[in-house]
Amino acid sequence: MKKIIVSIVSFAAVLVFASGASAHNQGCGLGDQIFPGADSVLMQTLALSTNQISFVEFAITSGTSGCVPPRSFVFNDDLTTYVAANMDNIAKEMAQGNGESLATLAEMMEIPVDSRSRFNTALQINFSSVFSHEGIEAGQVLENIASVAHNNHII
């Protein structure tokens, strides 16, 4: 009886165990932060068997994104990592003219608070020159953002 209970509980708990999901940072372009096939119930249930719980050492290393940093501007690795990890949201908010991911980017780039709305507007108008092609990666996006900001006398 005890064995039966243990095995039933275990089977049931397949459904409930694992309360974290994986930190799946890979790739530096649009769509790389979206994980196809994770949405349906069936996939979620199946995903449990392949779902790895994130484990990142506290010892912080910089430039962990593995993405190519911008060439012509002096930005730190954190910025490239951030843009790579939030690329789709940044693109969306840039086209919309505001948003939290975009505001975070402005803060990281040290855009003065009173220039932020000009920064947002300039990027919105120039959306297509920032996200200039489909396979664009984080470093290039940052270079394009910087040149838009520069041309508009924001930095």
> For residues 109-138, which are near other proteins according to CB under 8 A?
121, 124-128, 131, 134-135
The residue (of 84 and 146) whose beta carbon lies closer to other proteins is 84
The residue (of 72 and 89) whose beta carbon lies closer to other proteins is 89
The yes or no reply on residue 58 touching other proteins (CB under 8 A) is yes
The yes or no reply on residue 66 touching other proteins (CB under 8 A) is no
The yes or no reply on residue 76 touching other proteins (CB under 8 A) is no
CB 80 within 8 A of CB 138: yes
| Residues in region 31-50 near other proteins by CB under 8 A | 31, 33-42, 44-45, 47-50
CB 136 within 8 A of CB 29: yes
The yes or no reply on residue 2 touching other proteins (CB under 8 A) is no
CB of 50 to other proteins, least distance (A): 7
Integer Cα distance of 126 and 106 in angstroms: 16
CB of 48 to other proteins, least distance (A): 6
CB of 33 to other proteins, least distance (A): 6
Residues counted in the chain: 155
